[in-house]
Amino acid sequence: MAGISDGELAVYDRQLRLWGVQAQQKLLKSKVLIWGLEGSNVEACKNLVLAGVSLVIRDHRKVSAADVSFNYFLRKEDLGQSLAECGARRVQELNPMCGVSASTSGPEEDGLSGFDLVIVGLRVLGMDVSRASAIDAACRKASARFS
Please state the domain extents for the chain. 28-146
**At residue 2, does pLDDT exceed 70?**
no
The 3-class secondary structure across 97-113, one letter per residue, is CCCEEEECCCCCCCCCC
Angstrom distance (rounded) from CA 31 to CA 13: 21
Q: What is 28-146's CATH topology?
A: Rossmann fold (3.40.50)
Average pLDDT over residues 4-14: 78
Which pLDDT belongs to residue 111? 85
Mean pLDDT, rounded, of the chain: 91
C-beta separation of 10 from 32 below 8 A: no
pTM: 0.89
pLDDT tens for 54-68 read 999 999 999 999 999
Whether pLDDT at 119 is above 80: yes
